[in-house]
Chain A
Amino acid sequence: MSGSKKNIFGKMNDTSLLLTITIVIFFLMYIGAIVFQGGAFTKPQMFFNILNANAALIITACGMSVVMISGGIDISVGGVVALVSMCCAVYLDYHDGSIIGSILIALGIGIAYGLVQGFLVAYLDIQPFIVSLAGMFFARGMTTIVNTAPFNVADEEFTALKLTRIIIPGMGTTNKKGIYVPAYVEIGVIVALIVVAVLFIALRWTKLGRSFYAVGGNKQSALMLGINVKRTKFLSHMICSVLAGIGGYVYFLHVGSGSASHAMGMEMNAIASSIIGGTMLTGGVGNIIGTLFGVLSLSTIQNIVSSAGLDQAWWTGITIAAMLCIFLLIQSVVMAQKKKALKA
């Protein structure tokens, strides 16, 4: 028994080992939910709703994974999401702006954050945590400066875009009255899936993607192997911030309002999703598909918690922190096991 186990741990590389654990756990959890809670979980739309509600999180978590793989961290993403939704909301409603303009604003905020944070971290060697902590508070503060009161966007063009549904054929269900209700996803989900696909390909097949792993694995070695470590670090922060900007817009598209309290704690969800998805805090190990499953696992468990009648707000925070703790533990145990297997 232990012999075969050793083999598995020894042979697989860190990334695919942690990824497998995550995917298995997600399916176990979802099947468990269907078996024990039934009801909503048996309908495909339940799954699509999870996607709809978490498209923005998927995008920001992907960016977070890139930074974490290259050995950094960025806790400003939640703040950036809030800032983007507020700025876009104000622009659309108070300044009668266009959709294109608002998208450019979202991207602009992301790029500006990437430039500043990336420069401070990569070229001035300041701890990424301090930099992004300040970034988070700056974004939150700026959001209230832009507009204090939360408000819903009434712009017609925007509302139309917000309500656009993409029907998934064959996955609908018939309701009690016998009417066929088609299954659908929102535009944000498409954006999220594109981001996942692009990043997955980029991390696996481009030289830049591989240098994120190299820098996260061992900075000194990466330098000796001829990789431009500073530029790599800078770009990882740039990607994360730009994705936070895009995620912010998708979030805005989903909720349709601007508020200073939007996306509270989203940075934590993004970090937790990445870790659950098998990205190591120490850098160098991680996978975008894992992050996708990390987000899904996280939201599935939240749904289970709430449909189990524990829908008070505090359970969300506690569950996420608990899951994060457990997965950190799994990571360290698995890695220790692997080291043992290797030595034996």
Chain B
Amino acid sequence: MEDNRVLEMRGIVKTFPGVKALQNVDFSLNKGEIHALMGENGAGKSTLIKVLTGVYSKDAGTITLEGKGEVAIHSPQDAQKNGISTVYQEITLCPNLTVAENMFIGRGEGKITNWKKMNEEADKLLQSLEIPAKAKQQLSNCSIAVQQMVAIARAVDMDCKVLILDEPTSSLDEQEVEKLFGLMRDLKARGVGIIFVTHFLDQVYEVCDKITVLRDGQLVGEYEIKDLPRVQLVAKMLGKEMDDLSDIKGEGGSYEGADADERVFEASELQSNAGIKPFDFYIKKGEVNGFTGLLGSGRSECVRAIFGADRVLNGTVKMHGKEVKIGKPLDAMKHGIAYLPEDRKGDGIIGDLSVKENIILALQVLTGFFKPFSKAQVNAFAEEYIKKLNIKTASVDTPIKSLSGGNQQKVILARWLLMHPEYLILDEPTRGIDVGTKVDIQKLVLELAKEGMSVTFISSETDEMLRTCSRLVVMRDRKVVGELSGGDLTQNKIMSTIAGDK
């Protein structure tokens, strides 16, 4: 082990039933280094972090720590004892306690709390880290950024050698991020090794020294920040080399009716309470377009705003050129908009209900409370779409939760297709499902467009988007930063727009 190494992970392997989450991944961290861990969804970042913090046990590989040699970490407590601390995106402190208590509770000897000593120590530490908080302040009275810093202070005080920051900036504004970076640099100067997980490219280039990129559970490589321009970083994350231009251009799924130029849906200055900047958007009849951008760039929030899933703050919305009001999902459904949500388990399936009930739900709600379908009709609908989409289920009465992920997704898709929408929004319809189903869904999208349906397609996989979409709206940091169509639809162009290189 090199002199200034604090952590070395070698040949880490972790498999879940059916998935190789990590395949022989190496990762090393030096003293006083801020090391970015990058990768798209499912790349294995969080699995690696969880192996390191003892949430998951690894199948193979070694973890070596400075001065301790090879260590076995079986629980978050083990990790803490070994000087590995984690600060998560969600604050894992108690909002009702004081700042000082949050820093010291749950550790130390004795049964009595010495408030005076605790407050003094806390104030000293807060001051030395230049955290703008008072020891006696209630934590919930601090801003999110300060709360995050308090969590970091706790970690520092527990003598941590390795500090993991798991997407700490997702809910912070720019100034708060600056404050956090100040603290990170301060810790770096004290020799703490920091692993920084984030989706914001700007931030990586502002504060990090090194980048490790993972993709599909494999190590892509470790790079010095100065050796890796943004475009290349994006390319490595998405798995496309710069000169790889052999993209499959969309085989065309374009609708060729006379009214092909009609704008089915149009929004201007649309903004929701989910933290996206106001954006303009339109889609034509029979068009397939998409929102692209890295995770956290606000693509889901945009389509949620269109569907009325988040509270719409302002902006106007038109259907076929006529201004309409979409305040809640039912409004959108009445205007023929369907939305397949990103979080299948949390927002999509109704786990305990049967496949057929899940299929008819949207159309049933649209038909009305007092007009339930007959049993025969429900079965007919369900059978039709099970056949059409080739859904593998024991029967129409099977609870949806016992189906595989891909089949669950198909059921949700069936639910919306049954509604015969004019405009279908698919948010990550292919995430976490098998390749066969992925291809099925892409084919289906193109077929639907040919029949005149407008589709917005969101996917983390750029080649999927290129294969299906004829126009892409590019997002970065919760803002629409560009629109690509025609000849601009190439991996390179997308990547450079995402990266924001001029």
Q: Which residues of A contact B (CB under 8 A)?
A: 10-11, 13-15, 204-211, 213-214, 216-218, 220-222, 224-227, 284-285, 342
Contacts and interface: CB of A to CB of B under 8 A. Distances in A.
29 contacts: A13-B96, A13-B137, A15-B96, A205-B112, A206-B113, A207-B111, A210-B105, A210-B113, A211-B105, A213-B94, A213-B97, A214-B97, A214-B101, A214-B105, A217-B95, A217-B96, A218-B92, A221-B92, A222-B94, A222-B106, A225-B94, A226-B77, A226-B80, A226-B105, A226-B106, A227-B105, A284-B94, A284-B96, A342-B141
A220 B92 contact: yes
A13 B98 contact: yes
Given A206-B111, A225-B102, A226-B107, A218 B141 contact: no
B110 interface: yes
A140 B112 CA distance: 39
B307 to A, nearest CB: 27
Contact of B106 (A10, A206, A214): A214
Contact of A221 (B76, B91, B98, B112): B91
Given A213-B94, A218-B94, A342-B141, 12 more contacts: A13-B141, A14-B138, A206-B111, A206-B112, A216-B96, A217-B94, A218-B93, A220-B92, A221-B94, A224-B92, A226-B106, A284-B95
A207 B94 contact: no
B138 A205 contact: no
B97 A207 contact: no
Residue among B80, B97, B112 with the most chain A CB within 10 A?
A: B97
Contact of B76 (A204, A214, A224, A284): A224
Nearest to B109: A207
A225 B110 contact: no
Contacts of B113: 204-207, 209-210
The 10 nearest A-B residue pairs measured at CB: A226-B106, A217-B96, A13-B138, A284-B96, A217-B94, A225-B106, A224-B92, A221-B92, A214-B94, A227-B106
A227 B80 CA distance: 14
Contacts, number: 77
B3 to A, nearest CB: 32
Classify the interface of chain A: helix, strand, loop or mixed. helix
A206 B141 CA distance: 24
B282 interface: no
A213 B98 CA distance: 11
Interface of B: 76-77, 80, 91-98, 101-102, 105-107, 110-113, 115, 137-138, 140-141
A214 B102 CA distance: 9
Nearest to B158: A226
Nearest to A208: B111
Contacts of B93: 218, 221, 225
Contacts of A285: 96
Identify the interface centre among A10, A15, A206, A225: most chain B CB within 10 Å of its CB: A225
Contacts of B141: 10-11, 13, 342
Contacts of B98: 13
A224 B151 CA distance: 11
A226 B94 CA distance: 12
Most chain B C-beta atoms within 10 Å of own C-beta, residue among A207, A222, A227: A207
Nearest to A220: B92
